[in-house]
Chain A
Amino acid sequence: MKTRKNKKTEELLEKLEPKTSDNLLTLKGVGKHYGSIIALRGVDMVVDPGKVTCVLGDNGAGKSTLIKIIAGLHQHDEGDFKLHGSSIKLKSPRVALDAGIAAVYQDLAVVPLMPIWRNFFLGSELTSGVGPFKKLDVQKMKDITKQELSDMGIDLRDVEQPIGQLSGGERQCVAIARAVYFGAKVLILDEPTAALGVKQSGVVLRYILQARDRGLGVIFITHNPHHAYPVGDSFLLLKRGRSIGYYSKSEITVEELTAQMAGGAELAELAHELEQLGGHDEELAEAEAGVNPQVTA
């Protein structure tokens, strides 16, 4: 369960990396439909340990469907989903967790009124004693929480405070640290920066890199190319349930990424429309660049 052995496996995996079958996750032509509605079709993607794979797309592009398949909430009905080189269909989030795939959802991360350490161990509490006298090992859980968080670079004096008192970014980080501690090999982050301010987003992005450096394969879902580009190693672009491109970092610039994602023609059209409605020039320029995440959030 625990990932204390991280360093060793990391080294091991590095040696094995060139062989393709050692990819953590491989998706080939994966698709999903709900009745007659095709939510996702023909998606190829690879997740490697110590790498960040970004999934980009506008609302309704199929990002959620994709991560739900990877996290075990839904099952794909087309294509091939390989975990450690063998085909797999994940039946539930529990199965996915046991396989080392952990998802951190933007709004589902924590229970605000509960102390940080209780949140950290929620659902996987440590106990001591036997039978009806089995009790929570409070001190141990507090110590581990503190240690794990400080390993992630979050130094909290008091793990007893309600997690709701932390900022949104810190809460995300606790959720990430929790996933790392409980043995995640693949970490799915669903729009972790969507509801955050500029500074807080930066904090979360930093922890994404931390998780990467600890040897996890990170899947970072976002609709903001400016968040994705600096941390990502490869980029999957989705649109209307289809993959419209899969690039490694060397193949694409952030401007190209933005343009690809938004669709240049559509943006020009939007700018034109807004101009007719009397929008301001600077804002139009910004919209055209598809830059400002706060507008869409």
Chain B
Amino acid sequence: MSSLTASPSHKKTTTAQDERVGKKSTLSILLGRPEIGALVGAVALFIFFAIVAPVFLSPASLATVLYGASTIGIMAVGVSLLMIGGEFDLSTGVAVISSALSASLISWYFGLNVWVGVVLALIVSLLIGFINGIILIKTKLPSFIVTLASFLMLTGLNLGLTRAIGGSVSSPSIADMEGFQSAKAIFASSVNIAGIDVKVTVFIWLAMVIIASWILLRTKIGNWIFAIGGDEKAARAVGVPVVRTKIGLFMAVGFCGWVLGMHNLFAFDAVQSGEGIGNEFLYIIAAVIGGCLLTGGYGSAVGGAIGAFIFGMANKGIVYAEWNPDWFKFFLGLMLLLATVVNIIVKKRAESSK
């Protein structure tokens, strides 16, 4: 290993390139997709439940499974994007409830049209996301700490404000208030398809997955999300607006929380202020099972959706199979572990140098 010079003898290096790249088979392209592990898992799980519990295959049960998946999936859309951007959010579970509480308490306390509360709740949700983002940027603390803090604070605010304003741990009923029915039609109705009632959240969920996929794969912003998650410094160096993108991602999570919060509110007419704790992990699990790397820079919105679908299948499938639902969490943990291992392998494949 002595000195090296730029002698002309290096010409070989580039001509040898093609054979090293090789031709990609359809299979290897497929295997390179982030959500492939989850897809295989979902298919396997589907077949499994179809065998052990034939009722699982009936359209009505499928609609129920999809509904269960959608309530996780709506949040998983935002959480997946955020995770691809290299951050994660522990406050999502309670932020959903915060949004629902804001809408109901504001409308109830001031006697306003419910829609005013709905719009203000959107502002609250976006603001929560914005504050999470801005604190993360300003303090340069990891998102674990920042959002753990906001998780705790929101938990306290939910309980404290609900009791202070409404006098109970549950928000007062807004069922007979103006605008309730129209809001319920948007956020918590059912659509009848060939005799089967499918909850509207399923369609909202699918629409959100499509929009998020479009943003991720076909817009500048999507490019930036992958870049800041993959290598923030490199992204900054080539002129990607890192700060704006990150804050935008937290706000997108806020938006998803608002959608789900409105569903939670209008599916009934009141919200329990202590709810939501622990749900943040379900959203993260859906994203991780769907192939989003915890370290960022890799994943897809479709993956998060498949992760949510797996969750929905497991959750309801256990009931249809008439097993003890106590086992559900164990199963979920196992799925998570397997998915993460698959993800690591996929990442290594993608990153490995020759």
Contact = CB atoms under 8 A, between A and B. Distances in A.
B322 interface: no
Contacts of B220: 125, 127, 134, 136
A198 B351 contact: no
Interface in B1-36: 1-7, 9-10, 13-15, 17-18, 21, 23-24
Nearest to A137: B218
Contacts of A162: 350-351
Given A199-B10, A203-B10, A113 B226 contact: yes
Given A105-B237, A118-B223, A167-B354, A113 B14 contact: no
A158 B32 CA distance: 14
Contacts of B248: none
A123 B353 CA distance: 24
A41 interface: no
Nearest to B228: A111
A53 B4 CA distance: 19
Interface in B208-226: 214, 218-220, 222-224, 226
Given A111-B230, A155-B14, A226-B5, A125 B239 contact: no
A58 B7 CA distance: 24
Contacts, number: 145
Contacts of A118: 223, 226-227
Interface in B305-354: 347, 350-354
B10 A202 contact: yes
Contact of B226 (A105, A114, A208): A114
B194 interface: no
B240 interface: yes
B297 interface: yes
B163 interface: no
Interface in B54-105: none
Interface residues of B, number: 43
Contact of A164 (B1, B15, B352): B352
A244 interface: no
The 5 closest A-B pairs by CB, nearest first: A205-B6, A123-B239, A111-B230, A226-B3, A123-B238
Given A154-B14, A229-B5, 4 more contacts: A113-B226, A118-B226, A122-B223, A198-B4
A24 B233 CA distance: 28
B197 interface: no
A157 B23 CA distance: 8
A209 B225 CA distance: 35
Contact of B238 (A112, A122, A134): A122
A167 to B, nearest CB: 6
B350 A156 contact: no
Interface in A79-109: 93-94, 97, 103, 105, 107-109
A248 B17 CA distance: 36
Contacts of A168: 353
Contact of B235 (A107, A123, A208): A123
A287 interface: no
Interface in A51-100: 93-94, 97
A111 B347 CA distance: 13
Given A158-B21, A202-B7, A136 B223 contact: yes
B21 A156 contact: yes
Nearest to B233: A108
Contact of A202 (B1, B13, B350): B13
Q: Is the interface of B mostly helix, strand, loop or mixed?
A: helix
B165 interface: no
Contacts of B237: 93, 103, 105, 108
A108 B6 contact: no
Contacts of B240: 122-123
A138 B222 CA distance: 13
A103 B233 CA distance: 14
Given A161-B21, A227-B4, A292-B2, A122 B353 contact: no
A166 interface: yes
A231 interface: yes
Interface string A127-154: 1000000111010000000000000011
A121 B75 CA distance: 31
Contacts of A231: 6
B157 interface: no
Contact of A113 (B13, B347, B354): B347
Contacts of B238: 122-124
B298 interface: yes
Interface in A281-297: 286, 291-294
A158 B25 CA distance: 12
22 contacts: A93-B237, A103-B237, A114-B297, A118-B223, A118-B227, A122-B223, A122-B238, A123-B224, A123-B227, A123-B240, A124-B238, A124-B239, A135-B214, A135-B219, A155-B14, A156-B21, A162-B351, A165-B350, A167-B353, A198-B1, A206-B6, A230-B6
A125 B350 CA distance: 23
Contact of A156 (B9, B17, B233, B351): B17
A288 to B, nearest CB: 13
B52 interface: no
Nearest to A201: B4
Given A108-B234, A125-B223, A161-B21, A203 B350 contact: no
